[in-house]
Structure 1
Amino acid sequence: MASPSELCLNTNFSISFPSTSGVKDPFKLKNFSLPLTSMASEPIPSKVVCTLFDRSPKRISVSTTDPNFTGYVNDVEKGMVKNGFFTSNDDVPATFGSSGRLLDRHFVIGVLKFCSNERCIELGRRYHALIIKSGVNVDQFVGTSLVDMYAKCGDMGSAIRLVIQMPCLDVATCNCLISGYTKNRLFDEAFSFFMKFDGMGIRPNHYTYTTMLAVCGSFSAIDKGKQLHAQIVKMQYLSETAVGNALLTMYSKCGMMEDAESLFNSLVKRNVVSWSAIINGFKHHRDFEKALRLICLMREDGIDPNEYTFSIALSSCASMKNLDIGCMFHAQVLKKGMALGDFVGTTIVDMYSGLGEAGDAEKQLKEMGKSASSASWNAHIAGFVHNEKAEEAIGAFVDMVKNDKACDEFTYSIILKACSSLPSLATCEQIHSRMIKAKFESNMHVGSSLIEAYNKCGSVEDAERVFSKNSSADVVSWNSMIKAYSQNGHPTKALALFQKMFEEGIRPTNSTFLAVLSACSHSGLVQEGQKLFESMAREYNIPPEETHYSCMVDLLGRAGQLENALDFIKNLPIKPTAPIWRPLLAACRCHNNLQMAEFIAKQILELDPNDATVYVTLSNMYTEAGQCTDAEKQRKLMTVKDVAKEPGCSWIEMNNKIYRFFSHDKSCPEMPRVYQKLKQVMQQIENKGYTLNAKEDNVALYHSEKLAVCFGLINLTARKRIRVFKNLRVCPDCHSFMNYLSTIVDKEIVLRDNYRFHHFKQGCCSCGDFW
């Protein structure tokens, strides 16, 4: 007869019971057996095994003559725990412990460890109750296992109660509680409990210190970390390699690289973890060259880099934008046979993707084959987004889905960013549909990305629906929704939502204030904007940044308060930057103040000599003022200084395809029809009172946004809304054109420039002609 250990180890062994004639119950059929090989291919709930024993012809209990029965039960259950065959929290056999059956402490510790590792708290609670009911001796080991299970599963209340009830504590139990505090981000509680060790007569061991040092690193608690360092020296634990490595990591995370380097040099024993910790510290603090030099010294010290070290090296090369050195490390990884592993392989994909080498990244993915994880695909997609190749990112996402790779919250966040930069409403809606099916719509981080994507696509209604469904919306989601209202011409809603934040107890951030200040700027709410700006530092202790100063200049400039805007800049506590001056130059153009524009242009060019918008703005203002010689001078200066203006480009989406247009464009096969449509609508709106500025006849008539809208009118006849996107600010003539056009077509025209959205409907724009 097989022993209990053979029962668990021999996969061909099967449990058999004698037959009982005349019984049709399948559990009582002749030689009914349950081969353990089936467990390897398909998870078998533990209650099946228990029921098998319960319903055998002879109901065996502890009082029977077979002393091995309990051992069989325990070993079968332990084998299932060890091999992960508990498939859900409902798999605890309700009858376990019935019929006089006993549990032993070894089985209890094993199953509690399983519950800890798999975070099966309900399973753990039911076994805890079963332990009490069965009278198992809750000794130090069982008690510690219970504490560990509750702590890792996040039920710190139960873990603490168990610790209080235990008659005797040892360092292992206390370490479990500290580990639970840290995993649940209860750092203060972890420190508080650690400080009680001495009073409880507990001597910390090396695991205690490595755990506490990890807390200090995560929490940037350098003072507490140094106190622990002093204790470690006093307790003579510094010779423990794991403790030394934990100290290195703590100093690195806290930004104390000099201390980290000094400690590293003093270590008697340095292994690959020690080297990787100091190398990662320099990489984390952007001293990439030193990080790479240390890898060379590491080899001289006789230590070979491991996968983690190579990952740091490859990531450093990506950050340095150094493809050559990155390729050298890639070659070394290939030589060591590490390139196809998920960890290093993903870093290689990330490096090539970040450096714009999409072909090499895709080649690495193919070589990894099935071992390429979702993280590898995410890195590939993120590389396209980082390099502003949104269409390629969406294509990579489609390939990821075709390869049956699971999409996580990072996948959805990054692909929604691609939808935002195109922007593509149809693609955004398709991604949203997948999110709903995958139950990611309510995810806090993905939800804010979805709101932002719908905003960038000009669908504030969809953004509202997502926001209203997200009951756990964080401050990022609130900021995104306020920004959506601000950019789509709903300043009242933006300010109302800002007020509601306080009612919900959500503290605003600097991004919140930027959104509401922008709302005030685009709607001429000068006093409200000034009050909000002043409240930032006074009431919320949020110091204004460059973007807030720029927004205030824009607020005053748009309202025509040019002198006040100039005084605001002159009185700033920081030296004005080009982004702070630029809104005032734009305001001078709108309000025809050429003298101030010349002064501001000089300030900007001193800071950024290659700013093409300055030359173009001055040239246009000189032309409008009849100073053609000065206008031509600005154009010549651009040629001499090799400064090129970014060409205006507009695009429109149709049938999941993006169509792009440039001024005077003739590249599209449909352009003859487009120009014919433009001529037709021009005649119609001229009858309504529209006039084209004579000085702009040859240029503004064929601006890219006009061509894109006419293309939409030809091809999107069934739609009630036409969406066009432009990379530059819409000019006054095109804005007027869209206003008039919306009176003769039964459609809403949505135009997004690089500042905001303009919703044209029945002769009115959502910006109130204030942009």
Structure 2
Amino acid sequence: MYSKCGSIEDAQFVFDNMPEKTTNVISWNALIGGYGNHGRGIEAVELFERMVHEGMMPNHVTFLAVLSACRYSGLSDYGWELFESMSRDYKVKPRAMHYACMIELLGREGLLDEAFVLIRDAPFRPTINMWAALLTACRVHKNFELGKFAAEKLYGMEPEKLSNYVMLLNIYNSSGKQDEAEIKKQPHVFLSGDKCHVQTKEIYEKVDDLMLEISKYGYVTGGKTLLPDVDEQEQKSPHYHSEKLAISFGLISTSSSTSLQLVQSHRICNNCHNAIKLIAMITKREIVIRDASRFHRFKNGTCSCGDYW
């Protein structure tokens, strides 16, 4: 309690005067964690070593506390040594939270390759926290390729989380790759029925081709499936809704391996949602759209929202 209130010295005093501390691992863990949270990693490490010297057996919480202390204080060498000793010396099997802590520790020191190897060689499926720690480190150290890889892993695990997309965009920008974050360095805006774009003819032809192709899979253009809160402009031209125009432009402007990412101000109507699932399927593209409700990640004929938005 004292350490959480900012008084680590009082916490140490209470700990030193506890008669049962030699048998209470919880107290040791709390104080080690307190030193770590106060940025006093050296003292946390010293307390851990004292704990072991006095015959206390550390548990998985102990290791998380001392690894976190190493992370906050940049003690990468000691942290790595401690991580390797968990199974070898203390018979404590590292869990995902210990891996995530080590990945962040290595990432803070710029050891991104080592952090990636730790993820790759983990004896279990890497968790969201592990990939997120690597993505954060890639943003700090401007490692574009590895950051993109980590972000793609996160997209598959939590497609609704906006911060992952924002962080990848920051990596693009800080790495001087803004041209890859937009199409030909230009943001493109479309309205339903829009005919102001310089490539209007090609875009509309692509829309028509797509509508014809997905009709073979049962798609029917119709206004009855519109959501009640879509704007009036959207209701007038369901065949050429802004989403369809934007996707068609993206398809004719990028390579076949490029995923498309769009942002719009209103909710996707049912008609477009059904169409985009089929478009993603026939083009073998991943299409990510942020609408007024949530993120939609279309891939292989399905959407991450589970058709509920």
TM-score interval, smaller chain: 0.5 to 0.7
Distance in 2 (CA, whole Å) between partners of 1:510 and 1:605 is 29
* Paired residues, number: 192
Distance in 1 (CA, whole Å) between partners of 2:159 and 2:117 is 24
Other-structure match for 1:472: 20
Contact 2:119 2:126 survives alignment (8 Å): yes
Flag the 1:484–1:563 CA change in 2: closer, same or farther, 3 A: same
Q: Which amino acid counterpart does residue 19 of structure 2 have in structure 1?
A: S
Q: Which amino acid counterpart does residue 63 of structure 2 have in structure 1?
A: F
Q: Deviations over 1:316-356 (max 9, x none)?
A: xxxxxxxxxxxxxxxxxxxxxxxxxxxxxxxxxxxxxxxxx
Q: SS at the partner of 2:56?
A: coil
Aligned equivalent of 2:290, options 639, 642, 648: 639
Other-structure match for 2:225: none
Give 1:551 shift: 1.1
Aligned equivalent of 2:116, options 557, 561, 566: 566
Give 1:638 shift: 6.5
Flag the 1:602–1:583 CA change in 2: closer, same or farther, 3 A: same
Distance in 2 (CA, whole Å) between partners of 1:576 and 1:585 is 13
Q: Deviations over 1:493-513 (max 9, x none)?
A: 000000110222211011101
Equivalent runs, 1:753-764 vs 2, <5 Å: none
Q: Deviations over 1:587-640 (max 9, x none)?
A: 001101122111100011112212222112112233434517727786825633
Aligned equivalent of 1:508, options 35, 40, 58: 58
Equivalent runs, 1:535-614 vs 2, <5 Å: 535-614=85-164
Distance in 1 (CA, whole Å) between partners of 2:137 and 2:44 is 23
Flag the 1:643–1:522 CA change in 2: closer, same or farther, 3 A: farther
Distance in 2 (CA, whole Å) between partners of 1:565 and 1:539 is 23
Distance in 1 (CA, whole Å) between partners of 2:59 and 2:262 is 42
Specify every segment of 5 or more residues in structure 1 that has no aligned partner in the other structure, as ranges.
1-449, 645-771
Q: Which amino acid counterpart does residue 291 of structure 2 have in structure 1?
A: V
Q: Which amino acid counterpart does residue 563 of structure 1 have in structure 2?
A: D
Give 1:643 shift: 4.2
2:281 matches 1:630: no
Q: Which amino acid counterpart does residue 112 of structure 2 have in structure 1?
A: L
Q: SS at the partner of 1:457?
A: coil
TM-score w.r.t. the length of structure 2 is 0.57
Q: Deviations over 1:723-745 (max 9, x none)?
A: xxxxxxxxxxxxxxxxxxxxxxx
Contact 2:45 2:66 survives alignment (8 Å): yes
Contact 1:550 1:580 survives alignment (8 Å): yes
Give 1:522 shift: 2.0
Q: Which amino acid counterpart does residue 110 of structure 2 have in structure 1?
A: G
Q: SS at the partner of 2:115?
A: helix
Give 1:517 shift: 1.1
Flag the 1:624–1:635 CA change in 2: closer, same or farther, 3 A: farther
Q: Deviations over 1:432-462 (max 9, x none)?
A: xxxxxxxxxxxxxxxxxx2xxx333333233
Distance in 2 (CA, whole Å) between partners of 1:457 and 1:629 is 47
Q: Deviations over 1:10-57 (max 9, x none)?
A: xxxxxxxxxxxxxxxxxxxxxxxxxxxxxxxxxxxxxxxxxxxxxxxx
Equivalent runs, 1:268-287 vs 2, <5 Å: none
2:67 matches 1:517: yes
Flag the 1:640–1:464 CA change in 2: closer, same or farther, 3 A: same
Distance in 2 (CA, whole Å) between partners of 1:634 and 1:483 is 41
Give 1:531 shift: 1.3
Equivalent runs, 1:335-414 vs 2, <5 Å: none
Q: Deviations over 1:651-708 (max 9, x none)?
A: xxxxxxxxxxxxxxxxxxxxxxxxxxxxxxxxxxxxxxxxxxxxxxxxxxxxxxxxxx
Flag the 1:601–1:536 CA change in 2: closer, same or farther, 3 A: same
Distance in 1 (CA, whole Å) between partners of 2:111 and 2:84 is 18
Q: SS at the partner of 1:572?
A: coil
Distance in 1 (CA, whole Å) between partners of 2:136 and 2:33 is 22
Q: Which amino acid counterpart does residue 462 of structure 1 have in structure 2?
A: D
Other-structure match for 2:274: none
2:10 matches 1:462: yes
2:72 matches 1:528: no
Q: Deviations over 1:220-279 (max 9, x none)?
A: xxxxxxxxxxxxxxxxxxxxxxxxxxxxxxxxxxxxxxxxxxxxxxxxxxxxxxxxxxxx
Aligned equivalent of 2:48, options 498, 506, 509: 498
Distance in 1 (CA, whole Å) between partners of 2:261 and 2:174 is 14
Distance in 1 (CA, whole Å) between partners of 2:137 and 2:289 is 22
Distance in 2 (CA, whole Å) between partners of 1:582 and 1:638 is 21
Flag the 1:595–1:504 CA change in 2: closer, same or farther, 3 A: same
Q: SS at the partner of 2:290?
A: helix
Distance in 2 (CA, whole Å) between partners of 1:525 and 1:638 is 41
Q: Which amino acid counterpart does residue 559 of structure 1 have in structure 2?
A: E
Q: Deviations over 1:349-383 (max 9, x none)?
A: xxxxxxxxxxxxxxxxxxxxxxxxxxxxxxxxxxx
Other-structure match for 1:695: none
Give 1:482 shift: 0.4
What's the % identity of the aligned pairs? 41
Distance in 1 (CA, whole Å) between partners of 2:5 and 2:165 is 31
Contact 1:616 1:635 survives alignment (8 Å): no
Distance in 2 (CA, whole Å) between partners of 1:457 and 1:615 is 35
Distance in 1 (CA, whole Å) between partners of 2:262 and 2:42 is 42
Flag the 1:641–1:576 CA change in 2: closer, same or farther, 3 A: farther
Flag the 1:468–1:641 CA change in 2: closer, same or farther, 3 A: farther
Distance in 1 (CA, whole Å) between partners of 2:48 and 2:80 is 15
Flag the 1:616–1:634 CA change in 2: closer, same or farther, 3 A: farther
Q: Which amino acid counterpart does residue 455 of structure 1 have in structure 2?
A: S
Q: Which amino acid counterpart does residue 81 of structure 2 have in structure 1?
A: K
Q: SS at the partner of 1:455?
A: coil
Q: Which amino acid counterpart does residue 70 of structure 2 have in structure 1?
A: C
Q: Which amino acid counterpart does residue 470 of structure 1 have in structure 2?
A: M
Contact 2:41 2:69 survives alignment (8 Å): yes
Contact 2:143 2:175 survives alignment (8 Å): no
Specify every segment of 5 or more residues in structure 2 that has no aligned partner in the other structure, as ranges.
188-259, 264-287, 296-309
Equivalent runs, 1:8-407 vs 2, <5 Å: none
Contact 1:615 1:638 survives alignment (8 Å): no
Flag the 1:634–1:464 CA change in 2: closer, same or farther, 3 A: farther
Q: Which amino acid counterpart does residue 469 of structure 1 have in structure 2?
A: N
Other-structure match for 1:180: none
Q: SS at the partner of 1:456?
A: coil
Q: Which amino acid counterpart does residue 290 of structure 2 have in structure 1?
A: T
Q: Which amino acid counterpart does residue 77 of structure 2 have in structure 1?
A: Q
Contact 2:103 2:133 survives alignment (8 Å): yes
Distance in 1 (CA, whole Å) between partners of 2:9 and 2:261 is 44
Distance in 2 (CA, whole Å) between partners of 1:517 and 1:489 is 12
Other-structure match for 1:676: none
Give 1:581 shift: 1.0
Distance in 2 (CA, whole Å) between partners of 1:527 and 1:641 is 46
Contact 2:138 2:171 survives alignment (8 Å): no
- Structure possessing the higher radius of gyration over alpha carbons: 1
Contact 2:100 2:133 survives alignment (8 Å): yes
